Chains A and B, each alone.
Chain A
Amino acid sequence: MTEICPPYAPFFGFAGVAASMVFSTVGAAFGTAKSGIGITGLGQFRPELIMKASSSLIPVVMSGIIAVYGLVVSVLIAGKIQPGSYSLFAGFIHLAAGLACGFTGMAAGYAIGIVGDSCVRAYVYESKVFVTMILILIFAEVLGLYGLIVALILDTLTNGVEC
C-alpha cells in the first residue's frame, strides 16, 4: 500500500465499470421498449411490413448494440483491476471511461428509442420515410460510438503506471 496505489483505488475503478454498464443499459432499455411499442403499432395496421422482420427491427437491434458498447468497456476495465497493483490514477481514469461510455450510451439509446418509435409510426402512412429513419438512427448510434472511442483512448493512458 503506497501513496500511488492506496487500498481504496479499486472503488473508483469498479464505479467506472458499473457506470458504463448501468447507464448504457438505461439507454438500451429505453430504446428497446419505446421502439418496440412503435413496431407493435405498425403491426396492427400494416402486418405485411412487420413480416419482413429485419427492416422493422432495426431500432431494436441498434439499442442492443448500445448495450454491447457498455459491455465492451465494462469488460475491458474490469480485466485491469487486480488486487494489490491498482493505482489511484488508473482508478480515476477508469471512472472517467465508464462515465463517458455510460452517459453517451444513455443519450444514444434515448434518441434511438424516440426516433424509432415515431418513424415506425410514420412508416404506416408513407413508405418513403424508411431510408430517412435509417440515416437518423445511424447518427444516433454514432453518439454511443463516440463514448466507446473516448473510453478506449482513456484506457490506454493507464499502461505506464506502476505501484
Chain B
Amino acid sequence: MLISWWHVYLATQSIYRQVLDMATVLHKLIVPVSIGPPEPPRNKVSVVGVGQVGMACAVSILLRELTDELALVDVMEDKLKGEMMDLQHGSLFIKTPKIVSGKDYSVTSNSRVVVVTAGVRQQEGETRLDLVQRNVNIFKHIIPQIVRYSPNCILIVVSNPVDILTYVTWKLSGLPKHRVIGSGTNLDSARFRYLMAERLGIHPSSFNGWILGEHGDSSVPVWSGANVAGVNLQKLNPDIGKDKDKENWKETHKMVVDSAYEVIKLKGYTNWAIGLSVADLTESLMKNMNRVHPVSTMVKGMYGVSEEVFMSLPCVLDSNGVGSVVNMTLTQDEVSHLKTSADTLWNIQRDLKHL
C-alpha cells in the first residue's frame, strides 16, 4: 500500500514537472502544421541482400537520387544494421531521407522497385549454371514475401544465373511477366560498349552495340547493329565478329565474357559495374522514361523459342516494367544462337523442384 502511494507520488511529481517545466527543444523550435499520418513513400526501392553487389546497387541508387526511401533486407542481422547505419551517417550528403532495414520483409512494403541480389555468389572458375539449385531454395523464401508486402512492385533480379533465377522469380511471384526483369545482358552490353569504344577513342555512350540472349558465356553480340553515329561497322568491315577478321573484333566480345571471371580472380568479386547498371535500369523504371535496355524478359513465342525462358532482348522500360520489346533484325546464326541458349536454359529449368 505504501509502495503504490509512493508510485502515485512520483507520477504526480513527474507530470507536475513536465507541465510546469520548459517544453522540450523540439516543441519550442518546431510548430506542426500538417496533421494526419505522414505520407507514404512515392519512390521506394528495396534491395534484398547487403553483400558487395547489393550495397553497390544501393549506393549507386542513392547517389543518383532515384528514391525517397530505401529499404535493405538480409539474414545477417549485424551486417545489415551496420550497413544501414553507415548509409544513414551519410544522410547530410544525400537526398534520400529515409533508410530502413530489417530481417523482416515488412520493411520493404510499398516498394516500387525491388532489387534482388540475395543468394550465393559465383566462386572462382564456377560457371553461373552451377549455382542454380542453391539459389532457387533461397528464392522460395524471399520472393513470396516481397510480393506480399509490395504487390505492385517491379522485381529486378540480379543474382546469378540471372536468366534462370528471373524465370524462378516470375513463377514464385505470380506477377505478370512485364513486372519481372532480369539484369541480364545490361552489364555485358555496358562492358562491350566500353571495350569497343576504347578501341575507337570515344565514350561508351557514343558507341551503340547490343549483346543479347543469355547473360554469360553464350551471350550474343549483334554485330550487324554495331554503329557509331549511325555508321554501321559491319559495312566498314564485313568480316567483323568473324574468325577471319584481320582486326579480330571478335576478341572484344570474348573479353566481355571473360571479364567477370577476370575481375573475380583479381579482387574476389565484381560489384561496381553491376551496381551502376542496376541504377541505370532503376532510373528508367522510376522516371517512366521508355528507354531501351537489354534486359532479361520472357521470350516464349519469339525467334522460334517455344519454352518459357527468360533471355535478354532490347526492352522498352517504363513505370509498368517492360512496356514493349524491340524487334531486332538478327542473322540466321544469331537466331539459332538464341534458340540454343533457350534450350540450354530450359534443360535446367524443367528439373528444378518446388516451383
- Check if A and B associate: no
